[in-house]
Amino acid sequence: RHIIIFLESENLEELLKGVERILGIPIERIVVDARRRTAAAYMERVIPEGLKRAVREKKVEVKPVIEGMTSIGHVLGYGRFEVVDCRYQGDEEDFLLVRVENPYSVMLGSADPVAAFEALVGEEMGMDHEQVGPSTFLVRGFRSPHPEEFRERLRMRRYEYGEGDFSYEKCPSCGGPAFLSLYRWDLERGIITHRESGRRMVFFAPSVLEAVFGELERELGEEIPKVVVEAQKRFTAGGFYRLKGEEPAADLKFQLALRGIGLLSEFEESEEGLRLFMPNAAVPLMVVGLAQGLFESRHETGSRAEWKTGERGELEVRVIPA
């Protein structure tokens, strides 16, 4: 039931920076910790039990296993990972040191190697990172027990989606979406870019974003959903996303579906406001901010947004001119 979206990495980074600017306080500690814990929980489920047992019994070295797991990030657009050093003896001196070049996000892009180590050896890990170059970071994982209140707190959404009605042209050789040919994969650097615009893309789990938003809300207060919407609205209204052609509803439906964000089934827009409905929105708070930002940029007016969500991912958004 793990799903992914295909999104501009600049949106992820600027969304989190926008939340920081609105709140006026740093959120990196909360975001990095939530990202590490969600990644560790995912890897704990997908790593074969036999492999974990072999590592813990020291029949298999941990370093090449982590190298193999982090190389998947090169395909997903996460940047380049290099395991510099590690130690696993099952004691308090165990550590992991990884160089990360060109991470897709400073806050979100450094936790995966530490999460992999944690899931493999079955020990709770802490982490820190240090910038050592213009786009290079050293990430260090170390043995550290997690606060008791965190252990059962992390909530990750389960997606229960039905079939949609969106279809796309398929590549005749691999069967994947033909639109992916518009993008260039640099596997050595772990970077995916649009061939024309140069915008960087990344495959990312929406459940991780929602877990991060949830942790922010639990630590900083119930206003966080509105803050996330406002940050996404400001980013969108700044002109990063624009609707093309004479049929904005068709263009928005196409762009959302290709990114895996969900199916736009209803869309109405006029000077009096905007309304949309999706039966399966993957990242509802971002969609609300996107809709509000598009409306404000297209009509050059302020606005307020209202939204309702359902148990199966349904999302209804209304944007009203201010």
* Backbone conformation region of residue 197, classed left if phi is above 0, alpha if psi is from -120 to 50, else beta: alpha
Whether residue 157 has pLDDT greater than 90: no
The C-alpha atoms of residue 192 and residue 75 are separated, in whole angstroms, by: 8
Mean pLDDT of the chain: 91
pLDDT in the model for residue 165: 76
| DSSP of 265-279 | -EEEEETTEEEEEES
Q: Specify which residues 5 forms β-bridges with.
A: 204
The C-alpha atoms of residue 199 and residue 9 are separated, in whole angstroms, by: 8
Among 99-113, 136-150, 227-241, which is the least confidently predicted range?
Answer: 136-150
Whether residue 163 has pLDDT greater than 80: no
* Backbone conformation region of residue 309, classed left if phi is above 0, alpha if psi is from -120 to 50, else beta: beta
* Backbone conformation region of residue 73, classed left if phi is above 0, alpha if psi is from -120 to 50, else beta: alpha
pLDDT in the model for residue 320: 97
Helices (H), the chain: 9-23, 28-46, 49-56, 62-76, 112-121, 206-220, 224-235, 248-258, 284-299
Handedness of CA 14, 18, 19, 21 (dihedral sign): positive
Q: What is the pTM of this model?
A: 0.90
Q: How far is CA 29 from the centre of its chain?
A: 16
pLDDT in the model for residue 151: 54
Average pLDDT value for residue range 260-271? 93
The C-alpha atoms of residue 101 and residue 70 are separated, in whole angstroms, by: 12
Coil vs helix vs strand at 230: helix
> Which among 234, 212, 235 is positioned nearest to 224, based on CA atoms?
212
Helices (H), 24-58: 28-46, 49-56
Helices 62-76 and 112-121 cross at an angle (nearest 10°) of 140
The C-alpha atoms of residue 291 and residue 276 are separated, in whole angstroms, by: 8
- % of the chain at pLDDT higher than 90: 75
